[in-house]
Structure 1
Amino acid sequence: MAERVDTQALLRLVTWLSPAFPVGAFSYSNGLEQAVHDGHVTDAESLRLWLETLLRHGSGWNDAVLLAEAYRAFDDPARLALVIELAESMAASRERHMETMLQGEAFLAAARHWPHPVLDRLGDGVAYPVAVGAVAGAHATGLEPAIAAYLHASVSNAISVAIRCGVTGQRDGVGLVAALEPTIAAVAREAEAASLENLGSATITADISSLRHETLHSRLFRS
């Protein structure tokens, strides 16, 4: 039977994954700025393909699986400690590590407005998807909605990055959000049923872009 989500839990989820929630997501591009610089992403269609690939086969998929495990483990300290350690170790570059850890720290600091013992179990140094997953689990937001909201926020931030890099405009950006809805929904369903054994990435170009961004001579974003 599907987990029932009440309105209050849904409102919390919407708040936590809102662009206004103070995690500093606008500062990071997850290597997309470098991909634009190198000519891998040049227009709305190539951006759609880039994001869809990350969602299905790259960092988006891995984040979704880690979030799901943290959601299920929020009240099991030993199990939660394992996913915390694994998530940090999976960062593909120094900047990707900085991005996920600093956003996780900022998320937990802001989430203290919704007190729960899980915050003490998490501490401060936790990767972003683990922080979101454990807090969402503690507040029973529903696992699939939590994954979908997280992925939607990630896609929306990436499209905002692309707009600021001059790849696309706001109208086409909104169209991309709509076009990627089926992929986000499908990945959320698959990740809900996945385990840590399903972790894996095949987005080598994206990982290289994240590494190369460390030496990009002029940049807008921290990753």
Structure 2
Amino acid sequence: MMPKAALLRLLQLASPALPVGAYSYSEGLETLVQQGTLPNADAVSHWLEQELRRGGVRLEAAVLLRCQAAMGDGDRAALQYWNQWLSAARDTAELRAQSWQMGRSLSRLLQSLHPELEPAIAVCLPHCNFAAAFAIAAAYWQIEPEAALLGYLQSWANNLVTAAVKLVPLGQTAGQQILLNLCPSLEAAAHSIAQLEDENLATSSWGWAIASMQHETLYSRLFRS
């Protein structure tokens, strides 16, 4: 079992209260809702399941594991490489800006809490992705990689369900039902991502990318992506 201290730190890292601005992003979901593609809870649940199977969050989570391993090995060159790789793999400017902004916010928080992490964070500058910053924190707080991976995925799902509750709109109970129903998909995705070899890091989420591209031209927007 994971030590209680590490579990508490994971809960803090994956909490919606983490001051990184995750609540201000919908990752294209706002576009899909306005277009009528996601009119109800079942559609939102299906979309999230497909993203876990084929979407960009898989790349983020896979890079998280590699960055956490690099931190454990003291391999700052690998940490820098995978952070830059993820920046290059972003499908749209909005998604890249989101990852950089959240990564910058978490990096600043970590440096305030643990100044000794500054050298590790510095290799990811000027643009530290959120997954890389999350990995740095997880490694330093001695959170097991499997648990960090699940925490990252659950945090991602929680943020998008919260956005869907506002946008569709859905009731709070419906939102919690979606999260509960996603548990098997989150577990399956974590297992699959942990098995990915470097040469198999790819996505098939062109619809998600197009929705993100179209978001910046929406007439009315509640979210930044």
- 1:121-179 deviation digits (Å, cap 9, x = unpaired): 22242111111112212322001110111110110110111111133211110000000
Q: Aligned match of 2:39 in 14, 31, 42?
A: 42
Distance 1:13 1:172 in 2: 26
- d(CA) in 1 for partners of 2:63, 2:37: 27
Question: How far 1:118 moved relative to its partner?
Answer: 4.1
Distance in 2 separating the partners of 1:112 and 1:121: 10
The normalised TM-score by structure 2 is: 0.93
Q: Does 1:166 align with 2:168?
A: yes
1:137 corresponds to: 139
SS in 2 for 1:215: coil
% identical equivalent positions: 30
Q: Which amino acid aligns with 1:221?
A: F
Instruction: Tell me, in whole angstroms, the C-alpha distance in 2 between the residues paired with 1:6 and 1:107.
Output: 23
Superposition pairs for residues 141-152 of structure 1, below 5 Å? 141-152=143-154
What is the root-mean-square deviation of aligned Cα atoms in Å?
Answer: 1.4
**What is residue 76 of structure 2 aligned with on the other side?**
77
Counterparts in 2 of 1:21 and 1:203: CA distance versus 1, 3 Å? same
CA drift at 1:79? 0.8
Aligned to 2:192: 190
Displacement of 1:113 after TM fit?
A: 4.6
Read off the aligned partner of 1:169 and give its amino acid letter: G
Residue pair 1:143, 1:192 contacting (<8 A) in 2 also: no
> In the alignment, is the contact (CA less than 8 A) between 1:29 and 1:161 conserved in 2?
yes
Equivalences for residues 73-222 of structure 1 within 5 A: 73-74=70-71, 75-115=74-114, 117-123=116-122, 124=125, 125-222=127-224
Q: Distance in 1 between matches of 2:168 and 2:44?
A: 12
- Gaps in structure 2 of 5+ consecutive residues: none
Distance 1:118 1:5, change over 3 A: farther
Which residue matches 1:22? 19
Question: Residue 30 of structure 1: SS of its match in structure 2?
Answer: coil
8 Å CA contact retained: 2:153, 2:186: yes
